Structure 1
Amino acid sequence: MSLFAALLFVAGTNAPPPYAPSFDPAALKAGTAGELLVLGTPHLSGLPDGFSAVSLDPLLARLAAWKPRIITIEGVSGPDCDMLLSYKPLYPDVYDTYCWDPEPARKATGLDVPAATAEAGRLLAAWPANPAAAERRHLAAVFLAGGEQASALVQWLRLPTAERHAGDGLDAALTERLDTLTTRRNENFLIASTLAARLGLERVYSVDDHSADATTAWLNDDAGFNAALQRIWNNPVAKERAAADKALEAKLDGAGLLDLYRAYNSPATARVAYDSDFGAALADATPQNYGRRYVGWWETRNLRMAANIRAAMAAQPGARTLSIVGASHKGYFEAYLNRMHDVRLADAETILK
């Protein structure tokens, strides 16, 4: 061994440990940090035909007993959808996939998304303790114009049935839309909006983010990227996860749906989600780094979603917050938001007993 090689060998064996920051925000919590419950959920639209909204009652009862004052959903906000529409060439198909076109509400109210978003904020800032039915109908119309369907539904559900009619900015098309949302198979409506109305809240917060899609949009037409994802997802853990989900979905009557939510929110589920998907992607070696690019998109999306949740919590320091999100996000949300000074995580297993 040459002297140079020997020096390299010695240097390698005495390499310092990886740098770790000494500052840990998670260790510096506010004394009255706001509690955050992250509820991992299946997407209700994907459940078998036998699913009935009535089976959500045991879940809703437990969430209502916890009494959150802020509810966030995996939905793209009106302003973010407006951005995705404005920059559509950078986000092909994203707006059409994740956003509702508020044009009918713009025609009925005369408000575009920016104006409606500002008007909703103005109305809520001076919102009376006991608003008239006409005020709720008007706010529902404004929320629709701002692209916030789930919040519009909260106002609709808070109206007595006899007051759910056109007027005050709502035309026949918009009232029909709201009636449709009351039974639509979507956790944002059947769980979040329903629960918010039951708890006397005025809105929910849309925190999904698809601006991260720009990081991989240029790969959408790359056959190699799509083939890599299919290969990544074809692994034993993913197959076991799919089989377990299918078994849970086969028993949705009685307490079956609550059992599904308990399973989706168990501590082991976050690791299963990682091993079946993102961990497999990191381990997939290709010259193009397809797996690592995919994980980069996923982490960026979750970070931006977590920031949106933190922003909602910042407006009501100390308030309990329920974040309803697809189960694969749960572990990332908890890990990221646990770093925040004014956030303390709540245990879903305890609340869902």
Structure 2
Amino acid sequence: MIRATVIFLLVASALFHNAQAQQYHPSFRPDAMSDRPFGPPNEVLVLGTPHLSGLPNSFRPDMLEPVLTRLGTWHPSAIATENSSGLLCDAMRHQGESQASSVDHYCSDPTLAGKAAGLTVVAANAEADRTLAAWPATPTPAQRRRLALIFLAAGEPTSALVQWLRLPDAEQRADDGLTDELVTKLKVQATRKNESNLIGAKLAARLGLERVWSVDSQYFWDMPISEKAYAAALGKAWDNSATKARGIEETALYAQIGQPNGLLAVYRAFNAPSYAIQAYRSDWGAALKEPSPQGYGRHYVGYWETRNLRMVANIREVLTREPGTRMLAIVGASHKAYYEAYLDQMRDVNLINAEAVLR
């Protein structure tokens, strides 16, 4: 009897301490602090966006005008886009085959521009920083064409497009190092169905900004897992009622984009608090409970959270360059909740309600 009692007490104690360990939260919570930074705070407006490449064929760039107008009235002083930076892509290329797929999918090829400028990616990024540090209030068209070339060589095509769009139509030509082939690429990019170009670059040019900031991170280790089994496990996890409801709502929204302010309605819906909860339940919340012995769902959630942490770290680094920055962070709507959750922990970042700006 005594032995049984001792065993029970030991088990109960272990369970109690295990529960305590699982419930532990740190006493220091940056988001709960009431102190304020010296000077104006950094402000970040996270715009959750559909990937424009996936919109119906009825989409036209002019449909974005109500969104651009409202974002412009907020007057961001910096814009971040969901692109991998030229420096990150250059590092990934040095990893060889392990990062080849990510490079192919997410990185621009700076080879032609690098040859035209006589600069490596690293050197071109340094040259862009030096150029902007001494940038005149009224640069000449030749200076803008040269900076566009430097940004292309740096692996920053969206910033190159900003310089191109800031040129008068008559000055958008091959000159100052820009070749005919590079000019053709810029012209194609200006009309490509992509939010970095049609919102990020266009709005930056309209507001008089000189560049955008690439903050995505597609650098990940190769996981020794079966891609087929991984995809099948996640597909099963995502086959749930929240995913079905999300699909029905998005289909209905997309069917209305041809109507007045139809695309604005999409942006309002994608930036509503209810979207974040539904996206979590249909996607990462479901993946966490995926029961495969290999932990495929948890591999996926780890990838997703790591990527978002790195993206937000890149945003925080940009804000540090000029305290008091008003940043518009344009990102796929599924990232928005993670962006805001991580940014909200930072003492020197004030979040702006995108819903209010889009009204």
The offset of 1:89, in angstroms, is 2.2
> CA separation in 2, counterparts of 1:87 and 1:263?
40
C-alpha RMSD of the superposition:
1.4
CA contact (8 A) 1:88 1:95 kept: no
Distance 1:109 1:342 in 2: 38
- C-alpha change, 1:13 and 1:226, in structure 2 (3 Å) is closer
Partner of 1:297: 303
Show the counterpart of 2:91: 83
Separation of aligned partners in 2, 1:178 and 1:217? 36
Specify which of 3, 12, 26 is matched with residue 31 of structure 2: 26
Whether the aligned pair in 1 keeps the contact of 2:46 and 2:340 (CA below 8 Å) is yes
| Residue of 293, 297, 305 corresponding to 1:287 | 293
Inter-partner Cα distance in structure 1 for 2:187 and 2:339: 32
SS at match of 1:124: helix
Compute the displacement of 1:159 (Å): 0.6
Specify the code of the residue in structure 1 equivalent to 2:322: Q
Contact 1:92 1:217 in 2 (8 A): no
Could you say which residue in structure 2 is the equivalent of 1:247? 252
The residue type equivalent to 2:37 in the other structure is A
Q: Does 1:258 align with 2:264?
A: yes
Q: CA deviation at 1:12?
A: 5.2
| 2:144 aligned with 1:139 | no
Task: Quote the offset at 1:185 in angstroms.
Answer: 0.3
1:14 Cα deviation after fit:
4.6
Deviates more, 1:227-236 or 1:64-73: 227-236
Q: Which residue of 1 aligns with 2:224?
A: 218
**Partner SS for 1:58:** helix
How far did 1:30 drift? 2.1
Is 2:319 the partner of 1:317?
A: no
Question: Which amino acid in the other structure matches residue 171 of structure 1?
Answer: T
- 2:165 paired residue among 142, 151, 157: 157
Task: Indicate whether 1:61 and 2:69 are aligned.
Answer: yes
SS of the equivalent of 1:20 reads coil
What is the alpha-carbon distance in structure 1 between the residues aligned to residue 192 and residue 43 of structure 2?
Answer: 29
Matched, 1:227 2:229: no
Where does residue 175 of structure 1 map in the other structure?
183
User: Closer, same or farther in 2 for the Cα pair 1:156/1:183, shift >3 Å?
Assistant: same
Structure 1: 5+ residue runs without aligned partners?
Answer: none
Distance in 2 separating the partners of 1:252 and 1:11:
60
Q: Is the 8 A contact 1:90 1:217 kept in 2?
A: no
CA distance in 2, matches of 1:303, 1:13: 33
How far 1:107 moved relative to its partner?
Answer: 1.9
Query: CA 1:269–1:140 in 2, change beyond 3 Å: closer, same or farther?
Result: same
Deviation by residue 1:23-72 (Cα, 9 ceiling, x = unmatched): 11123342632111000000000000000000000000000000000100
1:8 to partner: Cα distance = 2.8
Contact persistence 2:93–2:100 (CA under 8 A): no
The alignment status of 1:119 with 2:130, answered yes or no, reads: no
In the alignment, residue 347 of structure 2 is paired with which amino acid? Answer: H
Task: After the TM superposition, list the runs of 4 or more consecutive aligned residues in structure 1 that deviate by more than 6 angstroms.
Answer: none
Structure 1 residue identity aligned to 2:188: T
State the alpha-carbon separation in 2 of the partners of residues 347 and 218 from structure 1. 41
Counterpart AA for 2:295: N
Partner in structure 1 of residue 200 of structure 2: 192
Instruction: Give the C-alpha shift of residue 9 in structure 1.
Output: 4.6
In structure 1, what residue type is equivalent to 2:9?
A: L
Is 1:267 aligned with 2:268? no
Q: Secondary structure at the match of 1:182?
A: helix
**Which residue of structure 2 lines up, in the alignment, with residue 7 of structure 1?**
9
Q: Say whether the 8 Å CA contact 2:234–2:290 is kept in structure 1.
A: no
Q: 1:226: how far off?
A: 1.8
Q: Is the 8 A contact 2:45 2:327 kept in 1?
A: yes
Q: Give the AA of the match of 1:30.
A: P
Letter in 2 for 1:7: L
Conservation of the 8 A alpha-carbon contact between 2:80 and 2:328:
yes
Aligned equivalents of 2:16 and 2:26: distance in 1? 21
Identity score, percent: 51
Instruction: Say which is worse superposed, 10-19 or 27-36, in terms of deviation.
Output: 10-19
Please tell me the residue identity of whatever aligns with 1:159. L
Contact 2:44 2:326 in 1 (8 A): yes
Give the TM-score normalised by the residue count of structure 2. 0.94
* Count of residues paired in the alignment: 350
Q: Is the 8 A contact 2:44 2:351 kept in 1?
A: yes
Could you state the TM-score of these two structures normalised by the residue count of structure 1?
0.96
